[in-house]
């Protein structure tokens, strides 16, 4: 039987703390060779800006193979439709049975924030207390919860172009007992932050490396999965010790990285390594208090697998979702 899990069901099942643990294990499994993370496949035709990305992963410990189809369609914005949609398929690694089909919106949001939390746990200064957010949408709300789980965050400084988005952000985060400050500019956010998260679908850089101060950690996770879209300028990449979620994926999909390379400011060899290598102890993370570290993530299939395992198990435990016999 295949369990179909909708967005509303998944929202009720998602646990940030459990996802952080599962994502950390997933990154480490890749580095240890007990999980497989292939590069992504990006499908597009000259007649459209739309891209369809296949993001896969397989892991021994979770007993799964997984694949997500991510549809990235900028033109949907003009139709009042989501510009990104996705579905995740989970298969039993031993038998090949299709266990579940999940709407991808909630898992993608939660595991993306969890990945930033894991990166911050290993790369940020342990005493980091001010979180800076460029962007204030649903992903920013998830990042507040995630970063508070791993660091002593006492203040959040946020910026958004949209007053309504900021109002919704404040309403959804008001229960956190910390200080929230609305920044006057992106520069204000960067200069205040100990940990900076860039969470916008920007095509051109919003964040300039000249604003970075010693000791900063950056999670650059918002730009669309395209090698020509970026949030961080080349100077920001040059000044940082850069870590990625997956090198093949970053080369294929990260504009933050590949545009800096194209401009001749850095080379691929300047990337310190993958986050999983830091977790496994094979790659040196932060070396000093003054290091500027940057985690550049465009998303990998292993993270969908990691949260998919959690959500599927929780749905089975609570008797949620719709079971369908796909073989009939």
Active site residues per annotation: 68
Round to whole Å and give the CA distance between 267 and 270: 5
Round to whole Å and give the CA distance between 260 and 294: 14
3-state secondary structure at position 217: strand
Round to whole Å and give the CA distance between 137 and 173: 11
Residue 271, both tokens:
């990337």
Neighbours of 37 (CB within 10 A): 27
Phi-psi region of 147 (alpha: psi -120 to 50; beta: other; left: phi over 0): alpha
Round to whole Å and give the CA distance between 42 and 150: 33
Round to whole Å and give the CA distance between 122 and 315: 31
CB 31 within 8 A of CB 282: yes
Q: Which residues contact 182 (CB under 8 A, 6 or more apart)?
A: 158, 159, 166
Residue 220, both tokens:
């650059």
Phi-psi region of 185 (alpha: psi -120 to 50; beta: other; left: phi over 0): beta
Alpha carbon 110 to chain centroid, angstroms: 8
Q: Where are the beta strands (DSSP E) in 73-124?
A: 84-92, 98-103
For the chain, the straight-line distance linking the first and the last C-alpha, in angstroms and rounded, comes to 10
CA angle 286, 287, 290 (to 5 degrees): 85
Residue 32, both tokens:
């240890």
């Amino acid at each position: 039987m295949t369990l179909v899990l909708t967005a509303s069901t998944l929202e009720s099942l998602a646990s940030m703390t459990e996802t952080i643990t599962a994502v950390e294990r997933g990154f480490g499994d890749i580095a240890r060779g007990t999980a497989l993370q292939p590069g992504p496949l990006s499908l597009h035709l000259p007649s459209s800006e739309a891209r369809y990305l296949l993001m896969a992963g397989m892991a021994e410990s979770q007993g799964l193979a997984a694949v997500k189809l991510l549809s990235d369609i900028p033109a949907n914005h003009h139709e009042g439709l989501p510009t990104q949609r996705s579905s995740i398929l989970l298969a039993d690694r031993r038998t090949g049975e299709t266990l579940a089909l999940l709407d991808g919106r909630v898992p993608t949001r939660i595991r993306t924030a969890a990945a930033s939390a894991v990166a911050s746990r290993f790369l940020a200064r342990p005493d980091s207390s001010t979180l800076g957010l460029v962007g204030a949408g649903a992903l920013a709300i998830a990042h507040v919860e995630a970063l508070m789980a791993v660091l002593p965050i006492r203040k959040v400084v946020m910026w958004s172009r949209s007053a309504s988005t900021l109002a919704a952000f404040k309403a959804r985060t008001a229960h956190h007992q910390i200080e929230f400050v609305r920044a006057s500019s992106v520069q204000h956010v960067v200069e205040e932050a100990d940990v900076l998260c860039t969470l916008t679908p920007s095509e051109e850089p919003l964040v300039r490396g000249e604003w970075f101060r010693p000791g900063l950690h950056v999670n650059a996770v918002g730009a669309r999965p395209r090698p020509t879209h970026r949030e961080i300028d080349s100077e920001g990449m040059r000044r940082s010790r850069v870590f990625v979620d997956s090198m093949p994926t970053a080369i294929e999909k990260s504009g933050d990285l590949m545009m800096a390379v194209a401009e001749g400011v850095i080379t691929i060899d300047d990337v310190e390594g993958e986050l999983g290598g830091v977790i496994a102890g094979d790659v040196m993370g932060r070396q000093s208090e003054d290091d500027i570290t940057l985690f550049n993530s465009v998303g990998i299939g292993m993270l969908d697998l990691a949260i998919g395992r959690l959500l599927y198990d929780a749905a089975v435990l609570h008797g949620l979702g719709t079971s369908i016999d796909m073989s009939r």
